[in-house]
Each structure stands twice: as structure tokens, then as C-alpha cells.
Amino acid sequence: MDGNFLLYSVRMRAARGGAHEDGGEHISGAERLVPEAEAETAAAALIARALSRGVSPDFVRLTMERIELAELARVPALPLTTIHAGGPAEARLQAERLLREAGVSDPAITLAFESLQNGFGSERVVLRGAALVDPLTGERLDPLTARGVRATHFDYAPGARDAVAAHLAEQGLTHFRTLDALAVATKVLWSGVRAELCWSDEPEYIAGYVAAPICGYTRFPQFKPSGARGGRVFFVDRNQWETVRDRLERTPVWIDAGACLSDVSRPPRNVE
């Protein structure tokens, strides 16, 4: 990259009933990490996304922030495997096995599923980010508020978004959420998270995944039981959680297509 190369984080969040900070309800959020020459196009695409959710937002905030190139990390996308379990109960058994292999204890797994089913804490809330959870005890490590921790400041590297999208499309995975979720999970594991468990908080979206170094991004098309609240759990070793949180929230990451493209077609281990 030449000395004049500038990199920008472009982020969009939309809400109805007012701004997020005034209690508005979050409708959508998305972000890009792009060279200066692509910032205007990225911003327009994010605004289009805010207007395409079927609910007209009352508030849209677009933030554009220059990123120090020296801080940028480049990370290969996780390999993706799909497990076609018979339904949510069978998917959960398979997911539990993967989480155990990643070093998460049975009590922590049970607590995580219970929180994704019913909401977190005694008030049963859906968090605005992910819960950071001790993989041994199941105890939540980040402050016990509705905020949680959000992975931000990441995007596919130039060319990688289209390459990964085309590769996923070859497997019938054309939903933008799969592409987005693969990027989230890639940044999450790179940040030092031992394993991630995710069910969408969109009522109609029942696919979900487990991500861990040992299994990459393992997707279950029918994972979320009906009526579940959804959310994300990041299992993080207790003595590292603050460092991991800082990386999740602050370190800019560009995701390359490499690992995803080379490993995605390999036969998955222990999968029917």
C-alpha cells in the first residue's frame, strides 16, 4: 500500500422511535472498512441497507472514521461447514459436542442455551451485543447490563467479499446474513474467544452456528427453537476477558478469503 493510502471505518445504525441514545428501538446496523476511494459507495450502500428492512427508520446514524493502517490486522476467513441436523434438538446435541471439544464445560453450555432461549439474567433481556462467558463456570464476565460486547471495526478485504459470497452461493448460501455472520465469527475467534454460540434475534431466522478454532464456522440451518429470544455467547478465558473485549471492540480487521475458499469444500468431520 502506498503512503497516501487511507482506510476508513464506515458504520451505520438505524432505529425507530428516536435515536438509540434516546431509547429508540434498533432496526439494523452494518459496517465496512474501506479505502478512501470506496468510502462514498460504502456509505450509500449502508444507507440503502437501512432503508431496505421493510420498516422505515426514524433515525439513521452514519459514522465515518479514519483508521490507523498500522493497527490493521489481516485474518483468513474461517472455513465453513454446514450440519444438516434433523431439527433444533438434534442440532443442539451436535453443537454441544463441538463446544465441549472447544473446552466449554457442560454447566456453561447449559447456561448459555438457557440464556439464548429465555434471555439473559433475572430480567430475561436480549443483549445489544454478546455476553462474554467463562467457559468453565458459565458465569458472565462482562458487566451484567443489557449492553454486552459488540465485535466491530471489521470487514472483508478488497475482493474477498465477492470471492467469499460467490463461494457460499455455490453451496446455496445466498443470504447476506451468512456472509455477515462468517465475518463476525472470524473476527471474534481472532480476538481470542475460545468459542461462539449464536442464534439470531430475528424471530423468523432459525439458522445459527457454533464457531471455534477446532470446527471453524459450523452452521446449523435449523438451530433456533421456536419462541427462543436469540443472541450471542462468546466463551472467553476468565483471565483474558478484558484484553479480548478490547480487541473485539477496537482492533480493525480485514478478512481475507483464503481459508474459507480452500477448506470449505473439505468433507466435515463427524457430520452426517
**What is the DSSP code (8-state) at residue 47?**
H
Cell 435449523 belongs to which residue? 222
Q: How far is the CB of 265 from ligand COA (least distance, A)?
A: 27
Site residues (CB under 6 A) for ligand COA, limited to 212-271: 232
Rule CB under 6 A: is residue 97 a binding residue for ligand COA?
no
CA separation (Å) from 159 to 156, 163, 165, 257? 8, 6, 10, 8
SS3 131: strand
Q: Distance (Å, rounded) from C-alpha 5 to C-alpha 3?
A: 6
Neighbours of 225 (CB within 10 A): 16
Q: What is the footprint of ligand COA within residues 48-87 (CB under 6 A)? A: 61, 63
Q: Whose Cβ is closer to ligand COA: residue 33's or residue 85's?
A: 33
If we measure between CA atoms, which residue out of 214, 212, 209, 188 comes closest to residue 131?
188
Choosing from 30, 45, 126, 179, the residue that interacts with ligand COA (CB under 6 A) is: 30
Instruction: Tell me how far, at minimum, the Cβ of 13 lies from ligand COA, in Å.
Output: 4
Q: Is 20 in the site for ligand COA (CB under 6 A)?
A: yes
Q: Which of 8, 11, 32, 191 contacts ligand COA by CB under 6 A?
A: 11
For the packed helices 176-190 and 241-250, what is the interaxial angle rounded to 10 degrees? 140
Q: Which of 16, 49, 97, 150 binds ligand COA (CB under 6 A)?
A: 150
- Closest by CA position to 220, among listed 194, 199, 250: 199
d(CA 153, CA 251): 7
d(CA 27, CA 58): 10
Does 110 engage in binding with ligand COA (CB under 6 A)?
no
- Interface with ligand COA, residue 92, by CB under 6 A: no
Q: Which stretch binds ligand COA (CB under 6 A): 83-91, 108-116, 150-158, 251-259?
A: 150-158
**Binding residues for ligand COA restricted to 167-186, rule: CB under 6 A:** 184
Which residue of 16, 49, 97, 128 would you call a contact of ligand COA, by CB under 6 A?
Answer: 128
Q: Which is nearer to ligand COA, 216 or 231 (CB)?
A: 231
Q: If we measure between CA atoms, which residue out of 58, 122, 91, 106 comes closest to residue 199?
A: 91
Find out whether 59 and 50 touch, Cβ atoms under 8 Å: no
| 3 state SS of 189 | helix
Q: Does 151 bind ligand COA (CB under 6 A)?
A: yes
Question: Which one of the spans 90-98, 114-122, 124-132, 203-211 is the region binding ligand COA (CB under 6 A)?
Answer: 124-132
Q: By rule CB under 6 A, what count of residues binds ligand COA?
A: 18
Q: Which residues bind ligand COA (CB under 6 A)?
A: 11, 13, 20, 26, 29-31, 61, 63, 128-130, 147, 150-152, 184, 232
